[in-house]
A and B are shown apart, each in its own frame.
Chain A
Amino acid sequence: MEGVTRRGFLKGAGVAAGAFLLPGCGEEEDPYALRRPALPDGSSGMLGQEKWVPSVCGQCQAGCGIRVRVAEGRAVKIEGNPACPVNRGGLGPKGQAGLGMLYHPDRILAPRRRDGERGSGRWKEVGWDEAIGEIASVLRDLRARGEGRGVVVLDGEPRGMTRDLWARFLDAYGSPNHMDHRATSDGGKLLAMTYMHGVPEIPAYDWERTRYVLGFGASLFESWCQSIHLTRASSHLRRGMPGRRVKFVQVSPRFSVTAAKADEWVPIEPATYGALALGIGHVLVRDGIFDADFVRERSFGFEPWTGEDGRAHRGFRDVLAEYMPDRVEALTHVPARTVERLAHEMVDNRPAVALADGGAAAATNGLGTAMSIHALNALLGSLECPGGLLVQRPAPLASWAAVEPDDAARAGAAAPRLDGAGVSRPLARGCIQEFPEAVLSGKPYPARALFLNRSNPVFSKPGGGRWIEALRKVDLVVSFSPLPDESTIWADFVLPEPTYLERWEPVEPVPSVGYPILGLRQPVVDPPRDSLAVGDVVIRLARALGDPVARAFPWDGYRDAIVERLKGVQEAQTGSILEPTTQKFIRKLQQEGIWEARGYPFGQWEGAFPTASGKFEFFSQAIEKRLAAAFPDASSMEAWLVAQGVQTRGDDLCLPHWEPPQFAGGEVDYPFLLVAYRGVAYAEGGIRHLPRLRELPSAGRDAWRERVELNPSDAHRLGIRGGDGVRVETPAGRRRLTAFLHPGVRPGTAGLPLGYGEWPPRPGVLEAPGGYGLLAVASDPLAGIFALQGTRARIGKEA
């Protein structure tokens, strides 16, 4: 045995391994071989061939620049694009998990038509021409019958070319029903900007120079619309400026990741953010420490004023006077001395910004809350200044020639919207969550055809099974989803679009840095052989309808339509890419992945506030006008407000204000308030379909279960232990979930992480899946903002 040495053993092992593996044994016997399937062309790819393709992430709207490593014909890794100002080379979990979409095992690769009952899950493949021809003939008939207004597009894109093409299509065809999802996401912020700033877009922020951030339920590091940008920013704000460190304060009922990472967490009673914001404003004004210059020079409605008609109006000062810290403490359970301290800290550490996000304004008092928080920025003089709140400047894309609608189109477009925006919800720009009721009641007119563009309402909208009922009632449902999601399984046609890693698309990111940015999404690998971009489908549909709709689409294809608009950016001759021709510009954009025109024009007050007064409006004259148009007289308005349970009256409806929230479900029957939220992994379409996102460490061992989070004291009282199956019942639905005990859940509330559920969805199931299935359709009565924090629940241990 002396002969046996380590080297001898090594040699033995080496020879054994050599004999085992090398002499031409196929990959089949090699336990370490990658075993990659053949490429669509049947080959195994060019050996050693590798390239990096710049593009733009599509896992959320943030528009992070990416670079995709394509090795031997396969996309194998996604990294951030250092040239992109949104993420500067970093990339979050959703972006990193993007290949899961591209190579999803359940992808629908070719168009299909329903072959059996709705929702039966039986399909037959169909050619593009046939599918588009059939859909066009339905649309043609509807238009001929004067029912064109019943064509509805649910559009997951709030901006961008595909959205613009759909808008153009509906303008030319004649329907007002182009519905985005913003009422259920950033609707509150959007409306506050619209009505106070005069800008119908959410704000950007000058993160580089901010010194104090007060977040109202703003899940900055989780589901904020620019979480990755903000992660970069916070890193810089904390460690990038020696000797100076920003303070992040997070106000929220739930001890979230953002709350834990913040410098200070302020727990608060759900849906009372507005009262806290007004309390802080009260202290700013009481102590005379607000930015009096800004308020005097650039705002409207702070002081009481008298209108041209001689009517006296309340000023914002009058509203603030009512929110003494003691009263605020009673409403919010935030100690009065904290209210005082926060106000003073903000002033002492200017520039300071106050933020809200979907969560904060997602309540039945949403608009007043969003306006109250937004008003703080004006009181602090944090608008249009370094370190403050900015208005995102758009890229100079050229516009297409205006649509010339015919009479039928004009009549259709003038019809009231089916979601009630501007009608039953007078201040709303959209109210998608109330659309199913309109479908089911058939009022004010029936929905005839429904296009689901990057939308899966059955999974991602509240209302339980009502969406399924609604989809079943519409005559024609067309989905463009490349995955058989919960709504797509109820469709008549599935026209799968290529995933975001396979398609062309100029991308205007969600407001982030303020100055103009334009990304270019381009195919990193070839799309499936039989695929068509949604933009191309829209154009072909219009062509198939013939004039006058076809006239509005003079392009041979979607790419021509894109190029026409990109021409504007090239001709502007500004920013990071300067080229003499559009073709060269686009080639360069393909190489860089991003175009940016750095430098924000701070303090450019000319045209900064396109409101009626030309100033920042504490008192929104646009709201006043809309209310006047919606209600013929004071008494009809009074009756409506009483019926809707609105307590605010008069001028306060046009001013930042707070009013008590309403909840679906009584406190006695439903003792828990559901605090539904989206975590950092919530990609476009959820989490459940991407195992890489499901299995994040934060989800722990319960990653594959749907969870409800309870405070240990509540759980103990109910005899529930972590991991137990619990029954969660709300006025909207009932589900069995797994209990997860977390001390960060406010007692009396239950955390409900959204995006989880069963995958793939089973055909024919009539119950709404996922967390949204438990949420009731509750809205801000005037503004139509969905009340995410508006449902109460009964929770009990599963027998």
Chain B
Amino acid sequence: MSTSRKPGRRVAAFCVGALLFAAAACAVAWVSLRPRPHPVVQPIAFSHRVHVSGEEMECADCHKRVGESPHATFPPVKYCMQCHEEPQGEHPDEPRVREYAQRGQEIPWVRVNRLPGHVYFSHASHVRDAKMECAECHGAMEDAEAPVTLPQIGHLDMGTCMACHRERGASNDCLRCHK
């Protein structure tokens, strides 16, 4: 296909070239103009570092369903109250946790890690069955002092998923992950 002798090929090559140019132009425009993620504001200044490094808690202590359901889930406020019923420190946000609990209201954590609507992902399959560490995708949360305001999995794309699946012998059938 590299050298075209027939005139039809030349036309085709021109068309392809034009398309390539248009696509490149679109891509440049997209890269420079596309929306960026905005940092969200979390209701409580939760520090993963204090809980994970300081208190030596495991991820699954709070994200309880990580090993059994597709969603790792956020802890309901009653989990927090198991320790924070009594003041554990001086942080100004700590009494607010108790206020939520007293009002019978869940802490309105803002979810930052979102999958595209047509992607299915099961934490249980990856953590329980494939024995992956949380940090493999989420990074070193034990070092995170400030609350999570930006997605940590933003660097993951379909290529990443598929490469890993290939490496570990997991299926790359589209239906495995798409919905």
Which A residues form the contact surface with B (CB < 8 A)? 1-2, 11, 13-15, 17-25, 27, 29-34, 41-44, 46-49
Contact = CB atoms under 8 A, between A and B. Distances in A.
16 contacts: A1-B16, A2-B2, A14-B157, A14-B159, A14-B162, A17-B116, A17-B157, A22-B116, A23-B155, A25-B35, A25-B37, A27-B117, A30-B117, A32-B117, A46-B74, A48-B72
A41 B107 CA distance: 12
A21 B1 CA distance: 35
Contacts of B106: 43, 46
Given A1-B16, A14-B158, A21 B69 contact: no
A461 to B, nearest CB: 46
B156 interface: yes
- Which 4 pairs between the two chains have the least Cβ-Cβ distance? A18-B157, A24-B37, A48-B71, A32-B117
A448 B43 CA distance: 56
A1 B111 contact: no
B118 A32 contact: yes
B3 to A, nearest CB: 11
A48 B65 contact: yes
A49 B73 contact: yes
Interface residues of B, number: 39
A74 to B, nearest CB: 15
Kindly name the residue among A24, A32, A48 whose own CB sees the greatest number of chain B CB atoms within 10 A. Answer: A24
Nearest to B105: A41
Contact of A47 (B74, B150, B159): B74
Contacts of A25: 35, 37
A48 B73 contact: yes
A15 B159 CA distance: 7
B70 A48 contact: yes
B154 interface: yes
Contact of A23 (B108, B117, B151): B151
A24 B158 contact: no
B5 interface: no
B116 A33 contact: yes
Kindly name the residue among B74, B105, B114, B156 whose own CB sees the greatest number of chain A CB atoms within 10 A. Answer: B114
Contacts of B157: 14-15, 17-19, 22
B112 interface: yes
B13 to A, nearest CB: 8
A22 B157 CA distance: 7
A24 B2 contact: no
Contacts of B16: 1
Contacts of A14: 157-159, 162
Given A18-B160, A19-B30, A29-B35, 4 more contacts: A22-B116, A22-B151, A41-B105, A42-B108
Contacts of A20: 34
B153 interface: yes
Contacts of A33: 116-117
Given A32-B117, A48-B65, A18 B151 contact: no
Nearest to A29: B35
Contact of A24 (B69, B70, B73, B150): B150
Contacts of B108: 42-43
B114 A23 contact: no
B76 interface: yes
A29 B30 CA distance: 14
Interface in B8-53: 16, 30-31, 34-38
Given A31-B117, A32-B116, A48-B65, A18 B159 contact: yes
Contacts of B111: 44, 47
A23 B73 contact: no
A21 B74 contact: no
Nearest to A50: B69
A17 B159 CA distance: 10
B37 A23 contact: yes
Contact of A46 (B34, B72, B73, B158): B73
Contacts of A13: 158
A106 B111 CA distance: 31
Given A48-B70, A48-B73, A49-B73, A22 B156 contact: yes
A33 B37 CA distance: 17
Contacts of A49: 73
B71 to A, nearest CB: 3
A528 B89 CA distance: 40
B71 A24 contact: no
Kindly name the residue among A14, A17, A23, A32 whose own CB sees the greatest number of chain B CB atoms within 10 A. Answer: A23
A49 B69 CA distance: 10
Contacts of B69: 48
Nearest to B39: A24
A124 to B, nearest CB: 32
A756 B112 CA distance: 46
Contacts of B34: 19-20
Nearest to B1: A1
A46 B77 CA distance: 11
A417 B51 CA distance: 74
A179 to B, nearest CB: 44
Contacts of B154: 22-24
Kindly name the residue among A2, A22, A31, A32 whose own CB sees the greatest number of chain B CB atoms within 10 A. Answer: A22
A44 B110 CA distance: 9
B36 to A, nearest CB: 8
B166 to A, nearest CB: 11
B33 to A, nearest CB: 12
Nearest to A34: B117
Nearest to A41: B105
Contacts of A27: 114, 117
A47 B106 CA distance: 12
Contacts of A41: 105
B80 to A, nearest CB: 14
A326 B118 CA distance: 68
Nearest to B65: A48
Nearest to A1: B1
A507 B108 CA distance: 38
Contacts of A32: 116-118
A2 B1 CA distance: 7
Given A14-B159, A14-B162, A24-B154, A30 B116 contact: yes
Nearest to A28: B35
Nearest to A48: B71
A19 B27 CA distance: 11
Contacts of A19: 30-31, 34, 157
Interface string B112-138: 101111100000000000000000000
A19 B72 CA distance: 24
Contacts of A24: 36-38, 112, 114, 150-151, 154
Contacts of A30: 116-117
Contacts of A11: 159
B2 A1 contact: yes
